[in-house]
């Protein structure tokens, strides 16, 4: 996440609360992803950092987004423009998705292994993590031969390092101490 995360959090929370209240979470996800992509366009980025009047900036941004944004989405864009926060849209989208995952009791887990994991290993790890974390787990697997053996698991703030490389590093540090 970027430097805009702290600024984006209250906007993402407000949008998420509204989406839950109005039962339009999926629609809001789509709108925020689209608006975030628009804000990343080079031409739009230039406009966001320029000195355009707030009303004009909101009008241009909503015009570019067109019918992809409903009335409430356009209102969010106006509020963000008034507060010079349109650059926070990518972080707002990311945080909105995190709030949705928390609501759904889901978590993305990054697993890095020394060799490609079999389907059975992925299933076993997934079941074990679901029990430990009390959430539905979505695995993102990757391979890094530098781990030598074992796995590195990252789930939110939780890190489980069972790699041989890590054990060798700890042994080296202990011997040098």
pLDDT level of residue 64 (50, 70, 90 thresholds): confident
The whole-number pLDDT of residue 32 equals: 92
Taking residues 143-167, report their average pLDDT.
88
pLDDT level of residue 57 (50, 70, 90 thresholds): confident
Three-state DSSP at 48 gives helix
Q: What is the pTM of this model?
A: 0.66
C-alpha torsion angle, residues 64, 69, 74, 79 (rounded to 10)? -90
Residue 33 clears pLDDT 60, i.e. is over it: yes
In the chain the domains, ranked by start, together with CATH numbers, are 5-101 (1.10.520.20), 105-176 (3.40.30)
What's the mean pLDDT when you consider all of the chain? 87
């Amino acid at each position: 996440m970027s430097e805009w995360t702290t600024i984006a959090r209250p906007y993402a929370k407000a949008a998420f609360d509204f989406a839950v209240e109005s039962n339009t979470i999926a629609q809001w996800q789509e709108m925020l992803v689209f608006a975030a992509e628009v804000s990343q366009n080079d031409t739009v980025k230039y406009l966001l950092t320029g000195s355009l009047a707030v009303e004009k900036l909101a009008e241009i941004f909503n015009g570019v987004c067109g019918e992809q944004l409903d009335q409430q989405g356009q209102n969010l864009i106006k509020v963000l423009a008034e507060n010079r926060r349109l650059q926070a849209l990518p972080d707002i989208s990311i945080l909105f998705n995190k709030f949705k995952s928390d609501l759904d009791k889901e978590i993305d887990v990054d697993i890095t292994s020394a060799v490609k994991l079999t389907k059975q290993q992925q299933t076993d790890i997934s079941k074990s993590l679901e029990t430990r974390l009390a959430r539905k787990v979505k695995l993102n697997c990757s391979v890094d031969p530098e781990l030598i053996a074992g796995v590195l698991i990252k789930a939110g703030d939780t890190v489980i390092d069972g790699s041989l490389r890590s054990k060798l590093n700890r042994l080296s540090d202990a011997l040098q101490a």
